[in-house]
Amino acid sequence: MFRRKRFFCLSLVSTFVFILSVQPAFTQGLTPAKKTAVAWVDGAKATYDEIAKYIWDNPELSLVEFKASGKLQEYLAKNGFKIEKGVAGMPTAFVATWGSGKPVIGFLAEFDALPNLSQESGELTKTEIVPGGPGQGCGHNLFGTASCTAAIATKVAMEKHSIKGTIKVFGTPAEETLIGKVFMARDGVFDGTDIMITWHPGEENAVDYSSMLAMTSVKFQFKGKSAHGAAAPEMGRSALDAVELMNIAMNFMREHVVQEARIMYVVTKGGEVPNNVPPDAEVWYFIRAPRRTQVDHIWNWMQDVAKGAALMTQTKMSYNILAATWEVLPNKVLCKMGDANVTAIGPPSFTPEEQKFGEAMIKSLGKEVKGTAFDTTITHPDLRQTFPNVFVVKASSDQGNVSWMFPTLIFRAVNKAKGTPNHSWQMVSQTNTSPAMKGGVAVSKWMAASALDCLTEPEIISGAWKEHNQYLADTKYHHPIPADLKVPTFKDLYGIEPGAVPGAKK
């Protein structure tokens, strides 16, 4: 099988940038500062590989990413960043800062893994390392490492070329459970940032001019009264009946909400044995829709439904919000600038051996290979479209909240073969291989170059904020979680303690 190796080849490809709207001017090509940043990233390839591999080798679930967070903090501290640990009530959240004064450019770094995705690297069949253990099914080992690498490269260029400003890296845990940035945003951790830069592993080389679904994650608890189900059922009040009645009502509600909405639930507690009236029951809901306002409408109605279910069954109802996100707000000004940097620096290149591995991976998915397995072209954004009339990815991210607070630039880089689904063992198999590493190195350069444009060309920041504020005039941002809501516990999310995760050290 194709095993992870170190490759250091990255072609510089020049392609014509596709721009269809008039935006503020910015520097075309590579300035001396950008060349410095790109050269630093090239020199740090071995370090990038080592850190990304370490995080892959030590997959950690949301809120307990101590090894990953610590490794990234160590990387940043060694390169002159001051670290603030444990922000927003999460031990693995951090802020790394270098520089002073305006502008302030932020980088978002994710690093959590997913449950039940343990998988050997570079294998074409499902081969668990730890049965039932976690794995890097969304490439966050690459994500956090690239964001930190980009920030350090930016800092190196600023020092050499006397560029003023502040660089911050926000270590954001628990993205897979949509928690980290939600609570960090509410608690003011991001305040003062001028531009936010981030990315996500994928199968395209591009800036991301799209949106994602807004969502709310909430658990409803019902408390009734236990009784013998045969001898004295009249003495009991069934919490499970309340859950079932709520679910029935929510299913009828589907007809009366926007067609794009998705209302999903699982019953997480329904009683112990059939011959006892269940005194406690719980149901976990996800509400998704293209706009936060649509989710809020459903959420407000849902609370009435839950109250009604409790009233009908003479039970007591409570709920616990776990997370709530906004849709992603793209920014044309930043996308135009970012696209130019992708074009000037170029996408990653892949060897014939790597492409053959990618082809074999595609075939293992039962799909037909069309063109190269790992894309070596650049996908340019169609800036003729204007939010909200842009493509909406059928998923949610806590980056959405950040994107409504600050103009945000999001990149995609090729780290997987075409058609590989996220949150799959096939994705885990690839996120520790050389093609995945190459994509992470490439996007580190794109992000650093874009940060340098923002630092040196004030009209980019002012233009991005002008566009951003136009949307805020119509849609006022609010934090979608209560001001006093505490960060969920690991057990709230997974139903077990961290030590019970397969492969966890006791």
3-state secondary structure 389-458: CCCEECCCCCHHHHHHHCCEEEEEEECCCCCCCCCCHHHHHHCCCHHHHHHHHHHHHHHHHHHHHHHHCH
CA pair distance 342, 360, nearest whole angstrom: 28
Write out the chain's pLDDT in tens, 506 residues: 444 433 333 333 333 333 333 333 344 569 999 999 999 999 999 999 999 999 999 999 999 999 999 999 999 999 999 999 999 999 999 999 999 999 999 999 999 999 999 999 999 999 999 999 999 999 999 999 999 999 999 999 999 999 999 999 999 999 999 999 999 999 999 999 999 999 999 999 999 999 999 999 999 999 999 999 999 999 999 999 999 999 999 999 999 999 999 999 999 999 999 999 999 999 999 999 999 999 999 999 999 999 999 999 999 999 999 999 999 999 999 999 999 999 999 999 999 999 999 999 999 999 999 999 999 999 999 999 999 999 999 999 999 999 999 999 999 999 999 999 999 999 999 999 999 999 999 999 999 999 999 999 999 999 999 999 999 999 999 999 999 999 999 999 999 999 999 998 75
CA pair distance 308, 344, nearest whole angstrom: 59
Domain ranges of the chain: 32-211+327-474, 214-324
Predicted pLDDT at 3: 42
The CATH homologous superfamily of the domain defined by 32-211+327-474: Zn peptidases (3.40.630.10)
CATH fold match for the domains 32-211+327-474 and 214-324:
no
Predicted pLDDT at 455: 99
CA pair distance 115, 271, nearest whole angstrom: 25
The alpha carbon of 370 is separated from its chain's Cα centroid by a whole number of angstroms, namely 28
Q: Does domain 214-324 have CATH number 3.40.50.1820?
A: no
Which pair of structure tokens corresponds to residue 58? 């030590």
Predicted pLDDT at 266: 97
C-beta of residue 317 within 8 angstroms of C-beta of residue 297: no
The predicted-structure confidence for 66-107, as pLDDT tens digits, reads as follows 999 999 999 999 999 999 999 999 999 999 999 999 999 999
Question: CA torsion, points 396, 401, 406, 407, in degrees to nearest 10?
Answer: 20
Q: What is the DSSP letter of 326?
A: P
Residues of 166-187 as b/e, b for ≥16 C-beta within 10 angstroms? Answer: bbbbbbbbbbbbbbbbbbbbbb
- Max Cα distance, the chain (Å): 84
